[in-house]
Amino acid sequence: MDLNLNRRSFLRGTGAVTAAAVGAASGLRLLTPAEQALAAPGGVVKLDILYIGAHPDDEASTLGALGQWNEYQGVRTGVITITRGEGGGNAVGLEEGPPLGLLREAEERRAVAYAGIEHIYNLDGLDFYYTASAPLSEQIWGHDSTLGRIVRVVRATRPSVIVTMNPSATDGNHGNHQQAAKLAVEAYYAAADPSRFPEHADEGFAPHRVGRILQSGAVGSGPLGPNGPTTGYTPSVPTDVVFGTWDGTVSERHGGERWSVVKTWAAREYITQGWGNRAFPPDDPARISSQWFTLIDTRTPYPEPTSGDLAAIHGAAVQAPGGLPLGTEFYLEAPGFHVLPGTTFELVAHARAGARRPVPGAVVDVKVPDGWTITGSGRLGTLAPGRATAARFAVTVPADAVIGERFTLHGTLSTPRHGSGTVGEVVEVGAPVRGTLEPLPEIEQFRTWTAANGVEHLNSLILPLLALGSGLSREVRVDLTNTGERPQSGTVTLSAPDGFSVSPASQDYQDLAPGGTGAVTFTVTNTDTSLPTSNRAPDDGRYPIEITTTYDGGSGTQAAALLLVPALSLVKATTPPRVSGDVDESEFPGEIIDISTLWEGTEAPAEDISGHAKITYTDDAFYVYVNVTDDTLGFVLPPEDTKRQRRTDSVEINIDPRGTSANTSTVFIAGIFPITDDPANGNPPSFHRDRDNRQGPGPETAPGMEVAASVSDPYTGYTLVAKIPFDVLPDTLDPEHVGFNILVNDSDTQDKSTQTRIGWSTWRGVRADPYRWAVVSLPDLPAQPATPVEPVLPDTAALSVDSPQSILQSAGDNVPLGGWRSLGDRSIEIQDASAADGVVTARLRARRGGLARVFVWDGTTVLGRQDVDVSAGRHSVTVPLTETGSGGSARWVLVSLESGEANDAAAHRL
């Protein structure tokens, strides 16, 4: 059977192909008959839900919910993955960079297929390394370009619901995840705005108003068992709206297994990430969890969160029982998140009918908290299709409202014959003058972003934090903002727990103008050095502080915390220690450092994993000694694969030369493996640099660094020593404040994964947060001016134009590869193709010039590839077959045509 697919031609019937044939041939499907019927006139697939993440596997936790919604409600989901994860580890081979990215794309396609998901849009963003920094992710991905491509896919596929990750800069939250979610939130608004990316209209992608955006996951606690969604989730922030879908629902499509099991099958497809042996969930239904979704924003009414497994999508993707007609918009809008006591603000209720029919007799009723007042008429009359209308109300906040409390204003839109729907708008009672702890750079950027996008409620989970070295002092700034309408004067007091002193006790501010800002500064000292540091302290290492700011007529408070990190004054070595496997720790002067504290993974006894370390220095280098007790040796890697140290037994040495780094692009991180599989050379240790200023093999990226190790036989652990010359660090040292950490990864398996991670300065995600590392000083080292080294970051991403699986999909669903600009309908066609004598000859017709990448593909393996520059016209391209592949009969000729940042795709079955 000859198949010749390109955009739109598939849906117009000019290609003699069916979705079933494509599925049988390649393991991928293009548009199903139902999707063809629902497709836009231009031939683009219509989706109900679009998940937006950063890497393949980010959507894994949601597949139980997405799968059962697809199975039982016919809900169609697609996935945007900004990167292909080529910067991650590889538990099954040596591929890295773009080849690993293409493997991970294939894993993702296999995994999400369990949930009936057939449309994956990889946006060609670079997966550079693990980071906790959204700003660094934004810098490397490019904000406007990436947002534009997300918006293009949203407008092309027209989902009713977006699901994304947690955008908040909370402790340990992956920076790529944060940035992906932030871009998803921005896309929710931008896709509806005709003034944003107007060039999309020229490609046939009109503005689109997504009905709802949800965050996958929640913060708080939720019950297990089948009644979880109807019992409801208890969020840490009471005004959060959290919906649940139980993963224990039985899947008839998958032979009567529960979706919790099917979701695990799907997760096991991510084998490069070490998920191939992921444990199955409990059999007992009472112990099976739900997938929780937190509402970020909505244009559509939503039901009570406890109304069942469909509550998250009722009213947006699925008709709600007794609800307004699907497609009806209704939402409330306050002028800002913060409202002041004793003031009146305008609350606007927006509504519009869906595209199909008017909704007569619409009336809005708004409920406000006790003690608040509201006036205004909610009569809207007939809602016309696609035409916005509004009701306006005046809401007065009582003068005695408690500063910092949050309230939900509930609005209900009712009609006599077309049902009703309810929404909420969250506001917080603010103070005329706010005193806030100086933010970390990443937090400041996030706060600015929430205000700019009107989602300040997302800032609620971020407790303001600053780090302080044990026994040390630091300046603490309190920022002041006058949000009122007249000048203010008052006092700021910073209170700290026992073991800390604050000087002065309070600070005055004078005549702060309306809309003005200011600051006062305190000196905080840790006076009790016996207090535990890091997460060894209670409450995950957070020592609470409180800022009280008075103003004319009242006061407000802000809760914050200090993180007490270890501090150590190093002793200079009179004689440099030997870098040798038989070195004795007595050669290292100074204190013994306990590196046995768990920071991630499974708690284990000391005989399983524990350790201690010592650090000294000379005029030109650090010397680090590490002694690890370990009961089981993990997988021993060959020298060429000693990278991504979290995969097996290893030690990380982290150095922030001046103690000021906002992320790890300006630090030094060495991953040291105590043994390699290299018997010809005595199985020596190996090291490499990872997720830092210059990644790569140690000898190349840190010339002059030396490592030695001794692994016990029989195995009970290992010792290692490292010399790290100062001149390999990315800046000169500040002798009074160097960030330093020692972390240990422990593997008790042979599957290239670690189970337990211990260390010195320890918190979840601490490897990406230099501000939470220990503070070391070098008292005998002279100070030098800073001379920072520009980061050398990965710059090669896996591209959609190089991915046969993406090309085949794009040829059918009319969404441009990578979300880039479309070259236009039928810019490239495969008019015919034939195979003979180990080559495939493809006859192409191009309507535009560009680079044509021609693949012969069997659904798994690229059998041959030829790249040719083509001009408008007809071309014959010969592709030698260099691989035998799987031996199956299904073979495809696939072509991507790229010109600048635009592309097109075509497919032809041999």
In three-state form (DSSP H/G/I as H, E/B as E, the rest C), the secondary structure along 270-326 is CHHHCCCCCCCCCCCHHHCCEEEEEEEEECCCCCCHHHCCCCCCECCCECCCCECCC
Torsional class of 843: left (φ above 0), alpha (ψ -120 to 50), beta (otherwise): beta
pLDDT mean over 55-68: 97
Phi, psi of 356 (to 5 degrees): -95, -45
Output the six-digit token pair for 769: 């947060």
Provide the β-strand partners of residue 189.
Answer: none
**Beta pairing class for 379-383 and 571-572:** unpaired
pLDDT digits (tens, 9 = 90+) for 227-243: 999 999 999 999 999 99
Find how far residue 98's CA is from the centre of its chain.
20
**Beta pairing class for 609-617 and 571-572:** parallel
Judge whether 56 and 798 are in contact, CB under 8 Å: no
Angle (CA) 889-895-898 rounded to 5° is 160
End-to-end Cα spacing for the chain: 8
Provide the β-strand partners of residue 520.
Answer: 478
Provide the β-strand partners of residue 479.
Answer: 436, 519
Find tokens 């800390």 and name the residue.
500
Judge whether 802 and 897 are in contact, CB under 8 Å: no
pLDDT digits (tens, 9 = 90+) for 345-393: 999 999 999 877 899 999 999 999 999 999 999 999 999 988 999 999 9
pLDDT digits (tens, 9 = 90+) for 463-485: 999 999 999 999 999 999 999 99
Q: Which of 92, 281, 267 is nearest to 751 (CA)?
A: 92
Output the six-digit token pair for 527: 């006076």
User: Does the bond joining 714 to the residue before it have cis omega, within 30 degrees of 0?
Assistant: yes
Estimate the crossing angle of helix 259-267 against helix 63-73, to 10 degrees. 120
Q: Which pLDDT does position 170 carry in this prediction?
A: 85
Q: What is the dihedral of CA 598, 602, 607, 608, to 10 degrees?
A: -120
Report how far residue 329's alpha carbon sits from residue 316's, in angstroms, rounded to the nearest whole number.
9
Output the six-digit token pair for 293: 């979704």
Q: Which pLDDT does position 386 carry in this prediction?
A: 83
Provide the β-strand partners of residue 544.
Answer: 561
- Output DSSP code: residue 688: E
pLDDT mean over 99-107: 96
Phi, psi of 774 (to 5 degrees): -65, 160
Judge whether 163 and 51 are in contact, CB under 8 Å: yes
Phi, psi of 397 (to 5 degrees): -90, 130
With cut-offs at 50, 70 and 90, classify the pLDDT of residue 439: very high
Judge whether 105 and 798 are in contact, CB under 8 Å: yes
Q: Which pLDDT does position 588 carry in this prediction?
A: 98
Report how far residue 698's alpha carbon sits from residue 681's, in angstroms, rounded to the nearest whole number.
17
Alpha helices, DSSP H, located in 319-393:
none
Burial class (CB in 10 A: 0-12, 13-18, 19+), 198: exposed
pLDDT digits (tens, 9 = 90+) for 616-627: 999 999 999 999
Burial class (CB in 10 A: 0-12, 13-18, 19+), 396: middle
Report how far residue 202's alpha carbon sits from residue 740's, in angstroms, rounded to the nearest whole number.
53
Q: Which pLDDT does position 888 carry in this prediction?
A: 56
Q: For every residue of 118-177, which 3-state class applies, written as one string? A: CEEEEEEECCCCCCCCHHHHHHHHCHHHHHHHHHHHHHHHCCCEEEECCCCCCCCCCHHH
**Beta pairing class for 554-565 and 542-551:** antiparallel
Is residue 407's pLDDT more than 60?
yes
Report how far residue 901's alpha carbon sits from residue 819's, in angstroms, rounded to the nearest whole number.
10
Sign of CA dihedral 273, 276, 279, 280: positive
Write the CA distances from 755 to 231, 551, 693, 750, 752, integer angstroms. 34, 52, 27, 11, 10
Report how far residue 296's alpha carbon sits from residue 166's, in angstroms, rounded to the nearest whole number.
10
Report how far residue 566's alpha carbon sits from residue 654's, in angstroms, rounded to the nearest whole number.
14
Output the six-digit token pair for 674: 């105590």
pLDDT digits (tens, 9 = 90+) for 73-97: 999 999 999 999 998 888 888 898 9
Is residue 736's pLDDT more than 70?
yes
Q: Which of 587, 856, 570, 890 is nearest to 738 (CA)?
A: 570
Write the CA distances from 399 to 73, 317, 346, 403, 488, integer angstroms. 49, 41, 17, 10, 17
Q: Which of 897, 896, 898, 891 is nearest to 3 (CA)?
A: 891
Report how far residue 20's alpha carbon sits from residue 31's, in angstroms, rounded to the nearest whole number.
9
Q: What's the mean pLDDT when you consider all of the chain?
A: 93
pLDDT mean over 311-333: 96
Report how far residue 289's alpha carbon sits from residue 225's, in angstroms, rounded to the nearest whole number.
6
- Least trusted range by pLDDT, from 7-16, 143-152, 841-850: 7-16
Find tokens 């006058």 and name the residue.
482
Question: At 239, which amino acid appears?
Answer: T
Is residue 729's pLDDT more than 60?
yes
Q: How many residues does the chain have?
A: 910
**Beta pairing class for 738-746 and 717-725:** unpaired
Run of H or E including 611: strand 609-617
Report how far residue 63's alpha carbon sits from residue 278's, in angstroms, rounded to the nearest whole number.
15
Write the CA distances from 872 to 719, 826, 827, 840, 852, integer angstroms. 65, 12, 9, 22, 11
Report how far residue 174's alpha carbon sits from residue 506's, in angstroms, rounded to the nearest whole number.
37
Output the six-digit token pair for 625: 């000694």
Phi, psi of 357 (to 5 degrees): -150, 155
Find tokens 């002193």 and name the residue.
501
Find tokens 């079955």 and name the residue.
909
Judge whether 522 and 468 are in contact, CB under 8 Å: no
Find tokens 């680079």 and name the residue.
851
Q: Which of 79, 103, 136 is nearest to 819 (CA)?
A: 79
**Beta pairing class for 738-746 and 756-759:** antiparallel
With cut-offs at 50, 70 and 90, classify the pLDDT of residue 459: confident
Q: Which pLDDT does position 120 carry in this prediction?
A: 97
Judge whether 259 and 103 are in contact, CB under 8 Å: no
pTM: predicted TM-score of the whole model, two decimal places: 0.93
Q: Which of 77, 47, 65 is nearest to 308 (CA)?
A: 65
Torsional class of 539: left (φ above 0), alpha (ψ -120 to 50), beta (otherwise): left
Report how far residue 77's alpha carbon sits from residue 50's, in angstroms, rounded to the nearest whole number.
6
With cut-offs at 50, 70 and 90, classify the pLDDT of residue 42: low
Judge whether 426 and 413 are in contact, CB under 8 Å: no
Provide the β-strand partners of residue 446.
Answer: none
Report how far residue 910's alpha carbon sits from residue 907's, in angstroms, rounded to the nearest whole number.
10
